[in-house]
Amino acid sequence: MAELVARVATNRDREAFAALFDHYVPRLSLYLQRLGADHALAEEIAQDAMVALWRKADQFDPAKSSVGTWLYRIARNRRIDLLRRAHGGEARLEAAADPVDDRPRPDEALAASQRETLVRRAMRVLPAEQLSLVKLAFYEGRSHSEIASATGLPLGTVKSRIRLAFGRLRRRLEDDGLRDAT
C-alpha cells in the first residue's frame, strides 16, 4: 500500500488512488461507525481522509507508520474536530478512541483461516482463464484495466470472466456451508 501512496505522491496516479480508495473507505467507514458515527457521517469522514491522502501523499512516511494507521489517524482526528464543533469546542475524547488494532482477535483469525481454506478449495474448480484473472485482481491488486493491458484481453472479457468466477465461487462456497459468500 505504501507503494500506491508513493505513486499518488509522485505522479498523482489515479489508478493507485482508486485502489487505495476502494480498499480503505469501507474499512474507515466501519471503524467510524463502531465509534458511534452514523453511516452517512462515517462515509463523509472516510472520504475526507482519502482527500487528505490525495493532497498530502508526499507527507506520508512509511518509516513512521503503515498506510492504514496513517489514514485511521486522519479519520479519527477529523471525527474529533467534528465532535468539538458539535459540543462547543469540547469533544468527549473517550468517544474518539485510538485507531483500531489491525491484528485480528484469535477467534477472528481462526474463522479467517477456515474461510481461506474454503476459498482456496473453491478456487480449484475455476477454469484456468478465470483463475488467472482472479489472482491478478485480488492477490496482486490490479484493476480490470491493468489486467486487460497485461493479458491482451478486451476489458469486457476480463470483467465477464471475473464475474463468472465470482458466481462459481459463490455457489461453491454456499455448497460448502460458508454463509454470506461474496
C-alpha cell at 164: 463468472
- The closest alpha carbon to 1, from 75, 71, 73, 104, belongs to 71
- The larger pLDDT score, comparing residue 170 to residue 107, is at 170
At 94 the pLDDT is 46
- The larger pLDDT score, comparing residue 23 to residue 177, is at 23
Backbone phi, psi, residue 9, to 5°: -65, -45
Residue 93 has pLDDT above 50, yes or no: no
Q: Domains in the chain, start-ordered, CATH in brackets?
A: 2-95 (1.10.1740.10), 106-175 (1.10.10.10)
Range 39-63 average pLDDT: 87
Task: Name residues whose C-beta falls within 8 Å of residue 29's C-beta, 6 or more positions apart in sequence.
Answer: 39, 42, 43, 45, 46
Which of 28-32, 127-131, 176-180 bottoms out in mean pLDDT, i.e. has the lowest? 176-180
pTM value? 0.48
Contact status, residue 118 vs residue 173, Cβ threshold 8 Å? yes
